[in-house]
Structures are given as C-alpha cells and as structure tokens.
Structure 1
Amino acid sequence: MGYKVIITGTTGMVGKGVLLECIDHEKIDQILIVNRNTAGIHHKKLKEILIPDFFDLSGLKDHWKDYDACFFCLGITSLGQSEDSYSKITCDLTLNFAQNFYDQNQNGIFCYVSGAGTDSSEKGRSMWARVKGRTENGLLNMGFKGAYMFRPGYIQPLRGIKSKTKWYALLYLIFKPIYLLLKHFPATATNTTNMGLAMINILSGNYQKKILENTDINELAQKNIENPN
C-alpha cells in the first residue's frame, strides 16, 4: 500500500511542484488537494476539494480521514501586509488547518513550507520571521507523529511551473541562468522538484531533524523513502 497525502496551495508555485512529484511517484497512491480555486489538473490519483474559506473547514469533515500526511504549501507574501493581517493568514489559518487535520489523523505527518531566516524565538526585528516562527512552534507542539518545517531560500521552479505573480515570474526567469550556478551550492538554493521529493521521502517519519534548511531539503530529496536517515 502506498501513501495518502493532502496538499494545499497547489495553485501556487511550490504546491504545484509538490503535486507533480506526488502524481509521478510510485509510493503515493492517493492525493487530496484543497484549494480556494481549482488547480486545473486531472489524474486518477487525484481528488480536489474547493474551500472558499480556510477558516471554515466543515466541507472537509467527511473527506480527510485516514491520510498519512499533509503537505501545507499555502502562503502569502508579507509585502504590504500589517503584522495582524499577515499573522491571521500565515499563522492562525495554518494552525487551524493543522489542528483539524490532526484531529482526524493523529498518526499523520505535517510538512510546512516556512522560509530561510525564520525566527524560532518569535522576538526578532523581522515581522515575517517572527510570524513564521510562531507558526512553526505551534505545529511542532501540536502532537504530530512527525512535524517538519521546510525552510527553503531561493526556489527555482522546474517542469514548466511559473509563479502567478508577474514580477515573481520575471524574477525567476532572470535568475534561471544564475540557478545553474547556485544549484552547485546546496545551502543556497533548491527547486520545486526537490521540495516535492523531500516531502515524499520524509513520510516514513524516521527523519531526525524537524527543521530543514536548503541543504537538508536537497539531501533528503535524493534519499530512499524507506531509509531517509
């Protein structure tokens, strides 16, 4: 039997990358994607549920039992956001979703896409880093069999994936030649394929680190799913 996973944020760059790897991977049998808007992808492994309000998860109550993991790839930029508004979407929404997933799947694994430079102390000067740190700490203390915080730095989209944000898409296009150099320095950059493979390879729950930086993500992407250590 393969794994059953839930993925959020598959209309975004990272979430779509994770989804494509899960679709292709022989160890993944079933995928439930949860979005506000359709991802527009169809596959025999795949089921999609649209949730207009992620603070109201009643539409999921009959659908998300007996899943092995949640790959939480939903997120927004902090640019132009007040701390209260950014915290509501980044921290409160994430913890609400995670708690509901945990209530139905207490042996489940939760992978959260955080970011390089996240502040675990929650006391630093950077607003986004404090909020991400508070989110990570809440997830790590929730009681999951395994909760893993992914802290990528630069992420290069592969497999034809493009950012929905126009200036992000332009930035990635500009940086594509530079990534050919950066990929030789695993502490500096990763890509959407490695993000997906690392999440899949963590599903055994045996990986010891709970916070994964760029190097950890790139290394774990190359490891065998049954023996990730």
Structure 2
Amino acid sequence: MKVVLFGASGMIGHGVLRACLDDDGVESVTAVVRRPLGVRHPKLREAVHADFTDLTDVAASLDGADACYFCLGTSSAGLTEVEYTRVTHDYALAAARALLPLNGDLTFVYVSGHSADSASATMWARVKGRAEEALLALPFRAYVFRPSYIRPRRGARPATRPYRLLYASTSWLYPVLRRLFPRHMTTTDTVGRAMLAVTRLQGRGPRVLTSVEINGLAAQETA
C-alpha cells in the first residue's frame, strides 16, 4: 500500500504517520508538507510544497497512491469563515482533485469533527460539514472520521499553542473521561490504525465513522 499523508506535522497526522511506518503492509508514505518533518525512515518520502490549493508541482510524487489520509487542520479560533474554509475545505478538495485522476480506486480519509454539519450554526462545524459532503460526492472511496476527544500518544502533540495548553491541562482527566464517556474517547494511535483498516475495506462499510467505529476498526486491525 502506498499512502499520501497531509498534516503529518500535527497531532493526528503524527499518529497516522507512525501507524503507517509501523505497518508491514505499507510500502511507502509520501508526506505533503510545507517544511521538512525532521523524521528519517526508509518508507518516508516528503513532498515540500507551499500552496496547498494547487498541487500541480508535486503531482508526480502523488502518482500510484492507494490511499490519502487528510489530517491537515487548524483551530477556528480567531479565523474568519473564509480563512477557515481555505484550510479545512479548500485544501482537502484540492488534494482530492489532484489525486482522483491518478487512481480512481483511491481511498481518501478526511478527519472531520464530532458535530460536523453543513447546516450548523457553529462556523467550524458548518465548514467541515460542507467539506464532508463535497468529498463524499466525488467518485472514489471516501471516508469521513468524526472523532471526539483524541488522546495524543507516542510524542504526538497539537501544532498550535492553545491546543497544547488545553491538552496539557486536561490530560490527567483522560482515565476518568474514558470510564465516563468511552464512546467518545480515542487516541492518535487508534486513529492511525483505523485509517489503515478502513483502506483495506476497499469501499465497504459505513462512510462516516465516529469514535465508536474508529475504535472498533483499530481493534480489528490489531486482533
């Protein structure tokens, strides 16, 4: 399996990258990044690129991919809807449209959020909902992950300072939250394993997955 990964420098992307590098079924991972990750591994390739709305210059690096894991994202705090749409919606659609002509059997996994809904009154949920709908309408194997609380593992950490502070201040609560709300808890490792598992479904199964389905798929992957 050849994987293209967006957002490898972020918390979720870090977990997905580690899962891919650890998996014997993954032949290579091409991380599309703005700057080098500083990670060395025989499977890892980097496509350094500045404009994620136009991937023409790195299209050759994406050819032959079996799966694309789109983990790129940002906090909506302090952003206008136009600014947030560019990163959350436009970048994802640009990636999908660049990859679609290269492999019609591609599996594309988009990391969304638990309450995503294009009709939502909440800006981030509305934008992510629109992105979901646009991706699911494209003619390839698209899946949407809607996790709730994600616990960072194996060195994963949020890319932005507000999220780092939030996770640092609440990490001690995870064991309690997991007992109280097990259906809403997952980890970066689990999300990574679930992406590999959903790719192996080859278009079968539900196309929108919450933490329950994500955890279930990851458990099957390691069984």
Shorter-chain TM-score bucket reads over 0.9
SS in 2 for 1:61: helix
State percent identity of aligned pairs.
38
Change (3 A) 1:165 1:68: same
Verify the 8 A CA contact 1:30 1:45 in the aligned structure 2.
Answer: yes
Residue aligning to 2:193: 197
Equivalents in 2 of 1:181, 1:84: separation in Å? 37
Of 49, 52, 65, the match for 2:50: 52
Matched, 1:158 2:158: no
Equivalents in 2 of 1:182, 1:218: separation in Å? 16
Shift of 1:206: 4.7
SS in 2 for 1:223: helix
Residue aligning to 1:137: 133
- The one-letter code matched in structure 1 to 2:131 is T
Residue aligning to 1:178: 173
- The one-letter code matched in structure 1 to 2:174 is Y
Change (3 A) 1:224 1:206: farther
Equivalents in 2 of 1:161, 1:90: separation in Å? 20
Equivalents in 1 of 2:88, 2:204: separation in Å? 25
User: Number of paired residues?
Assistant: 221
Of 211, 215, 218, the match for 1:218: 215
| TM-score normalised by length of structure 2 | 0.94
Question: RMSD in angstroms over aligned alpha carbons?
Answer: 1.6
Equivalents in 2 of 1:162, 1:63: separation in Å? 27
SS in 2 for 1:28: coil
Equivalents in 1 of 2:46, 2:182: separation in Å? 33
Residue aligning to 1:97: 95
Of 9, 13, 17, the match for 2:7: 9
Structure that is richer in helix per residue: 2
- Segments of 5+ residues of structure 2 without an aligned counterpart are none
- Segments of 5+ residues of structure 1 without an aligned counterpart are none
Verify the 8 A CA contact 2:107 2:203 in the aligned structure 1.
Answer: no
Equivalents in 2 of 1:213, 1:76: separation in Å? 20
Instruction: Report runs of 4+ in structure 1 exceeding 6 Å deviation.
Output: none
